[in-house]
Structure 1
């Protein structure tokens, strides 16, 4: 959180990634942003220009020309931060960028802190806290689904749900608070039956939002997917085939993969974090046994397991035993039969009869991989997301919703026990507090500092 004095400063930062590029954008925000830029800009008088206009000219340090630039003006309150703002588009040389930023600092600006532009936008009422957090999610979105989720939240989809819940509860809270002023009159402004109906309705909505977090976490962070099976089942070959590159070492020698190799694959707009693990087997090799132990730990924490086995080197007894172990593990898994090009037809037919949901592939020949990808995607339930339902993707929001649920349940317990209004009012106020934490109606300096410190500088 920044001090009141710091909020009055004009801040400057590079808004585009560090490094050499065709152009770089330097951003300023604050009441003196246009004035400071005007001091080093040779062209039109920026202080007499209209908002949302772009001007060509040069940036100069005295008589020395640093660069030819385009300057975009945003006059308060018509800017991202609702302050005067300037964006200077320079050539992408790191030398030019550093020279321009140092010149702006000499003329009255100061370097922005991480997330300070977005924090000013929040503090100036441009959007609420949940929408501000969505800005960071949008920047880091690396798939269609994560982009769509962040965009929906930034546009106020999630905030609208929370505001509606909070608004309905505030009405009853005010009525109960009013009753406290008339305790001697024995007047009822808020019907207990109506309050119960409302709280039960709110609980249903809160439960839906809480349950959506599993999907939201998948959308935002990807699906941890472990490829598990015996040594030489073709796990590394499958990973390479899915990635379309030689990421993992492939060898006929059993136990080549001693640790795990991880990479991301985008399937149908969802990021899957595939993990190629050491083969599952009994071994006396100390290093390999550590890898096997880590594989078992990875399997417990995975969201999906691809159980891969070699059709030419596995019998039905072994497959049934492995499947039984996976079922006891409780993690969703797919049965993937590899090396179909070398398989015995009789065994394939037996496997189809006993396990009709088996997916048959040849990782080495890259055959039927699209079928495998379709089945992988089918295990991620995106139906809620595709129908436009609000999805919770932020752990902070999830935590506040869980606390809201607990407080609302306390209200119901209070109604059952026929507690007095002052106790009911306390539990309702707690529910409102936790809902308000999500959107920023209720904040602390530590909370804001923690959230915005995770943003990149320049945003």
Structure 2
């Protein structure tokens, strides 16, 4: 399905800037660049230059000079795509960018589609499919953790682990298939004890990778944290303190926040998406009621629920607070709940002691004492949020799955491996066991791209940016 034509696209973000990079890839990339490039120091053609060299000169449209540029030459197969690649670094004027691109198109280039450079790298075996997908993840990474995972996957950490398991399973599968050819002789080429050990090891690795998706998914997409509580307890003040800016409107009027407000913050390399919700209370205000309804929708979407209440109201309303806390715990039992009494700067030491005694009786929840207006307790709150994320695998540089497609294939592979394990335990015939082994190998191959189709590749690379 690989095209032999030469493609061109802007490799840097569109818009004006100091410089822009225009990328060409294909059999005629160097020849087409040569037709438009005039070197400052030498008249030698780019085709005669060494690979991985940079040349100063001008892009010419006939006798008209468009721009002074630097041209980088990468000859196949030692390039990103595995083809001849030329990158033109020009000045970042929108006009200059378009003039150069249109010139190359007139000379015979075709505008690249989304992700076509990386698609060619995959089809030319420069990257496997999981590494190619990691390129898109790396480009979109916006915090240290997601960047680290994408880099590990792009270097082949995940795919090499899968490829090793697939190769071992394939070796045993070959022996099982060989047994089928000698079915009448009733011989066994595959040692069942070793095969059982291999299947158990594969099952263990698959379960570890599948379990890592819970961490990988939230690291890649950010961890949504819903800030909930009654009106005027300081939810918007807390959001502003966390973000260190006046993001939400703060006033003494209860119900000021009538819609959810969201913003992101990176804490120790992990992205958190804080959602300041409308205060939960009984109200006849139609607009506020809609906001409260959205609050419950956001709690459903959140990974962590942060329940905020006014500590100065604790003595009079401790029973009410306990009821509200239990209501949230019962409705969302699987979500970590962090209880945050705010405005503790207005309490005496004795009142703080009573408050902590009360909080200590609530099982299964953590609490942080806070004075959001003075930033007291904000750093402790951030540390507590980090504790909800299993960053051990990240610190130990273990393979973490972040891609939903990989997760789905791993689940299917595990299902087939478990069937194989059951077959070994029940002395299932080789021909029936071979079917499950082939299916497991198929799902392994889906991850690295050894098993693909045009529709799958189209879906994956359509999510890439143009020029990559």
Task: Assess if the C-alpha contact under 8 Å between 1:137 and 1:150 holds in 2.
Answer: yes
Is contact 1:400-1:438 (8 Å) kept? yes
Q: Which runs of structure 2 are paired with 1:37-436 in the superposition (5 Å)?
A: 37-43=33-39, 44=43, 45-314=45-314, 315-328=317-330, 329-330=332-333, 331-356=335-360, 357-436=366-445
Residue from 8, 21, 24 that aligns with 1:25? 21
1:29-52: CA deviations, max 9, x gaps? 001100000001011421111001
1-structure distance, mates of 2:455, 2:146: 27
* TM-score normalised over the length of structure 2: 0.95
How many Å apart are 1:354 and its aligned residue? 2.6
CA distance in 2, matches of 1:355, 1:405: 43
Cα deviation for residue 252 of structure 1 reads 1.3
Structure 1 alignment gaps of length 5 or more: none
Rounded to whole Å, the distance in 2 between the matches of 1:28 and 1:245 is 43
Write the deviation string for residues 161-218 of structure 1: whole angstroms up to 9, x where unpaired: 1011101110110000000000011110112333222212111110000000010011
1:16 is aligned to 2:12: yes
Q: 2:459 matched to which residue of 1?
A: 450
- Single out whichever of 237-246 and 222-231 deviates more from structure 2: 237-246
CA apart distance, 1:284:
2.1
Is the CA contact 1:278–1:292 (under 8 Å) kept in the aligned structure 2?
yes
How does the TM-score come out when normalised to structure 1?
0.97
SS at match of 2:390: coil
Distance in 1 (alpha carbons) for counterparts of 2:157 and 2:318: 51
User: Is the Cα contact below 8 Å between 1:312 and 1:344 reproduced in 2?
Assistant: no
Give the match's secondary structure for 1:360. Answer: coil
Question: Structure 1 residue 242: deviation in Å?
Answer: 1.1
CA distance in 1, matches of 2:119, 2:56: 30
Q: State the 1:249 CA deviation.
A: 1.4
When structure 1 is superposed on structure 2, of 132-141 and 328-337 the one drifting more is 328-337
- Point out the more displaced range, 349-358 or 184-193: 349-358
Distance, in Å, in 2 between the alignment partners of 1:415 and 1:367 is 61
Q: Deviations for 1:233-259, whole angstroms, at most 9, x for unmatched residues?
A: 100111111112221111211112112
Q: Deviation at 1:148?
A: 0.3
Distance 2:300 2:64 in 1: 63
Work out the CA distance in 1 between the residues paired with 2:213 and 2:391: 12
Supply the distance in 1 between the matched residues of 2:393 and 2:385 (Cα, whole angstroms): 17
Misfit runs of 4+, over 6 Å: none
1:322 shift after superposition: 2.1
SS in 1 for 2:372: coil
In 2: Cα distance, 1:19 partner to 1:297 partner: 38
RMSD over aligned Cα, in angstroms?
A: 1.2
Deviation of 1:54 (Å) = 0.5
Cα deviation, residue 12, structure 1: 0.2
CA–CA distance in structure 2, aligned partners of residues 15 and 187 of structure 1: 59
Distance in 1 between the 2:19 and 2:282 partners?
57
CA distance in structure 2 between the partners assigned to 1:167 and 1:238 by the alignment: 53
| Cα separation, 1, equivalents of 2:400 and 2:49 | 43
1: CA distance, partners of 2:78 / 2:424: 48
